[in-house]
Amino acid sequence: MTQLPPNEQEVQSPPATGNKRIGVIITFAVILTLLGLLAWGLKKAQAGPLDNGLAPDFTITDFDGRTATLSELRGQVVVINFWASWCPPCREEAAYLEETWRKYEDKGVVFIGVDYVDTEKEALAYIDEFDITYLNGPDIGTRISQAYNIQGVPETFFVAKNGELRGVHIGPMKSPQLDEKIEELLAEQYP
Amino acid sequence: MIADIGLIALTIAFIFTVYATFASAYGGWRGRWDLVESARNASLLAFPFLTVSVIVIVYSLYVLDFSLAYVYDVSSQAMSPFLRMAALWGGQQGSILFWAWMMAGFVAAVLLRKWDRDREMMPYFTATAMLTTAFFVGVVLFIANPFVRLWHIEGAAELTQALFQPANSMPYYPEDGGGLNPLLRHFGMIGHPPTTYLGFTGFVIPFSFAIAALITGQSRGDEWIRTTRRWTLVAWIFLSIGLILGGRWAYDVLGWGGFWGWDPVENAMLMPWLTGTAFLHSVMMTEKRGMMKRWNMVLIILTYSLALFGTFITRTGVISSVHAFTKSALGPAFFAFIGLTFIGSVTILYLRWDTLKSEHTLESFISRESAFVLQNMLFLAVTFVVFWGTIFPLISELVTGIKITVGPPYFQKATGPLFFVLVILMGIAPLLAWRKQAARTFGKAIWMPFIASLGIAGIWGYTHRMHPASILGLWLVTFSLSAILAEFWKGVQARRVTRGENPLTALFNLIGRNHRRYGGYIIHLSVVLIALGFIGDANFKLETQGTVSSGEALTIGDYQLQFEQLRGYPGSDGREIVEAVTTLSQDGEAIRALNPRRDYFTVQQQPVTVPGVYSTPGKDVYVLLVGWDDSGQSATFKIYINSFINWVWLGGLMMIVGTIIAAWSNPGQRETTYVLKPGVLTSHSLVQEG
């Protein structure tokens, strides 16, 4: 069984040792690059999203040109929501987010929508569709999402009145998760 | 203590798997058959010991032994006994134990059945398969141990998790556990993990045989392929069922109206399926023609590595995903193991590359052979496209410092044309003869289905005037479908004429006489049906969202959804249910009541959306309760019309039937496939193999 009968039609590949060597080098280079990439990704993933300590500061310019800076919002509870128009689970929570914002708008709560890797036209259509009225702007150069080390969208970070992160919610939020979190943070004393 | 029995059994199983790995490799290398036999016994014993571990965990979940951290995490008093036991795969530790157990089961089954037939390959098969099993058992034992207990150390604010009692500590018995993630309490999620794991672990069999064949030099022949054909089919069908159940779960539970979102975790499962499918086809070329030996090796190594890669990215969060998975210490161990498997197998392949010469060359571009080459290339291309899209966020972040996630549009646009050609190929490739196909005969076989499909798609396109892509999609499905059905038709006709059988008997006997071929056709038909579901999703989907007060209606397409009222009541498994009472009408005529719900799981503080669905063969009307105002007077709904979606589930069932037929050996026939010898068939090369 181990010896196959000689076959006249067997393809005699030319002794292309040079080509073969290049092929081998390329193959192993690709494999090693890939493994290197995974190792690097793994190292980053092990870090996980930020969920405590002082919330990284940022300034965001919204689609209408208004700006907001996180460090200037001390004394208020801040909800930072990372989203994108191409993300189906974001659509799931959009109506609930807006509803909750309207409920807490006048109670010392600020909502910031950070639009992650998106195109303006689609993003505006999304905002229009869900009639979103809180501040929303693009994350230019993914600077904000990198500072928060987000794992995907949607992801929502909660900032207490003193500017500290008080947890992160990965995935879409549903009633009454957001309400509960906001009530909890509003109850904190400041200063 | 019963949990201790589980831990001891697990430890013994680990020792056995490690011993089996080294003893079989050394025995094979030195020709020490006694060692190889001993390794076989150790491998066979590892399975019952792992079984004990699994039984202990399942029992602990059932009786709610909350002193175990794992039970505390995933089981709870409110859960039904069935769900408690299904919680075996509801968390990291349990699912990896389950995984290791199934892999050991597969290997034991092979060692029992194939021991005498493939003696030369057995030492290396055992070594490869047991190395992998040992890795998984080791992960369970050292990294993700489900037997870890909860302890309370005096004065400490938090509980400690440890296998053995830490100093100054007392065992801690919580009153109740956290319970299974509510999203997983669905039949799709009960069935999806075990089938997926069976698929992933099942591929260890062909992979280990491939490595054994390479090491022993048996790779020149096709014995390893014959030995593993059914095992590959089993792995493949479980992977397929896993994919479909996952899709069904997403459709029913995740509440975004679709079943496939090109999420990294979904892609992770799709990639080994793609290469595995290519492998299943490609091995036929080696069996019949002695060609594509290198392809087979590359494909099985890729399939297995991609299965590991899939597990890796799912469990470690290397690539962002909308699926939230827990972080764990598994990452580095998995990374090392994937690196070892991939580099090791590619190195062995490189050393044996020259022995894997093809026994024939391609003789014609219109032939079964060239169709096989083309399909392999297409499958690899799709895999590459999916892989690239999946790891692109990593690459872009590394190169530019900006993480760019590619969404579903990329995957749809890039894989669409490739899948398009694959579906055409699926219809016509079985019509092609081996070696050389005269264009004329091929034309004769294909013109009827071609004209018929053109006609149907043309008429539909003319009457509906929708986007050209949708017409093209429908043409594709009709064409492939009629080409495959024509094969059945021809076979039945031939039997009717030659044997005078009635059509039904003829069909039955036709399939019965050649399980592999007609089982394969049935699988092809099922894939066409699934393709129809994807085409419907891409081209015919409608959606709307709106807030309505009691008595008002939302309109979508020909349908109206009238909102009557909201009602709340407590449900099973510790949930509070808010349900909307609505009536769905079509063109003003009431069809039926729909009750989209929001289930709130009190313990986990997690809501789950349960859609109200009106299903017909042509489309689903899929209604989600998105929100409501506190008075209960108005509610917000999201409505989707999903065309052809039910054909995906039907196709899934048909795929199982087809695979069972294809894997069933023909009675009275030993598995012989005849090999075309050069020169024998030149005069009648158009004869199709039977």
Three-point CA angle B26, B28, B33, nearest 5°: 100
User: Measured between CB atoms, does B267 come within 8 Å of chain A?
Assistant: no
Residue A191: cis peptide before it, omega within 30 degrees of 0:
yes
Give the HSE-up count for residue A54: Cα atoms under 13 Å, Cβ half-sphere. Answer: 6
Distance, in Å, from the CA atom of B27 to the CA atom of B21, rounded to the nearest integer, reads 10
- Is pLDDT larger for residue B365 or for residue B282? B282
pLDDT digits (tens, 9 = 90+) for B230-279: 889 999 999 999 999 888 888 887 767 778 888 888 888 899 999 999 99
Three-point CA angle B186, B188, B193, nearest 5°: 110
Compute how many other C-beta atoms are within 10 angstroms of the C-beta atom of residue A41.
Answer: 25
Which are the contacts of B321, defined by CB distance < 8 A and separation ≥ 6? A151, A152, B263, B264, B265, B313, B314
Question: Which residues of B, range 89-128, sit inside 8 Å of A by Cβ?
Answer: 120
* Contact check, Cβ <8 Å, B398/A37: yes
Where exactly are the structural domains of chain B?
A: 1-180, 542-643
What was the ipTM of the complex prediction? 0.74
* Contact check, Cβ <8 Å, B627/A96: yes
The percentage of chain B sitting over the pLDDT mark of 70, rounded to a whole number, equals 92
Question: What is the residue-averaged pLDDT of chain B?
Answer: 84
CATH 1.20.120 corresponds to the domain B1-180: yes
Facing A37 at nearest CB: one of B120, B394, B405:
B394
* Mean pLDDT of the B162-184 span: 79
* Contact check, Cβ <8 Å, B407/A86: yes
Q: Which two tokens stand for residue B496?
A: 């009717």
Name the percent of chain A in helix, strand, coil, to the closest 5: 40, 20, 40
- The whole-number pLDDT of residue B320 equals 55
Concatenating the DSSP letter of every residue in B329-355 gives THHHHHHHHHHHHHHHHHHHHHHTGGG
- The whole-number pLDDT of residue B352 equals 85
Facing A152 at nearest CB: one of B258, B320, B607:
B320
pLDDT at B383 over 90: yes
The percentage of chain B sitting over the pLDDT mark of 90, rounded to a whole number, equals 26
Give residue B558's Cα distance to chain centre. 36
Rounded to 5 degrees, φ, ψ at B322 are -70, -15
pLDDT digits (tens, 9 = 90+) for B81-136: 888 888 888 888 888 899 999 999 999 999 888 777 778 888 999 999 999 999 99
Sign of CA dihedral B25, B26, B29, B30: negative
- The whole-number pLDDT of residue B686 equals 36
| CB contact at 8 A, B470 and B540 | yes
Q: How far is A165 from chain B (nearest CA, A)?
A: 19
- The whole-number pLDDT of residue B317 equals 62
Three-point CA angle B241, B247, B248, nearest 5°: 90
| CB contact at 8 A, B679 and B530 | no
* Mean pLDDT of the B21-35 span: 91
Instruction: Report chain A residues whose CB lies below 8 A from the CB of B258.
Output: 88
B547 to chain A: closest CA residue: A95
| CB contact at 8 A, B180 and B83 | yes
Residues of chain A short of pLDDT 70, as ranges, are 1-17, 45-51, 141
Which are the contacts of B635, defined by CB distance < 8 A and separation ≥ 6? B547, B548, B563, B566, B580, B625, B626, B627, B628, B629
pLDDT digits (tens, 9 = 90+) for B468-484: 888 888 888 889 988 88
- Is pLDDT larger for residue B589 or for residue B185? B589
- The whole-number pLDDT of residue B384 equals 93
Distance, in Å, from the CA atom of B630 to the CA atom of B638, rounded to the nearest integer, reads 18
Question: Do strands B612-615 and A155-159 pair parallel, antiparallel, or not at all (unpaired)?
Answer: unpaired
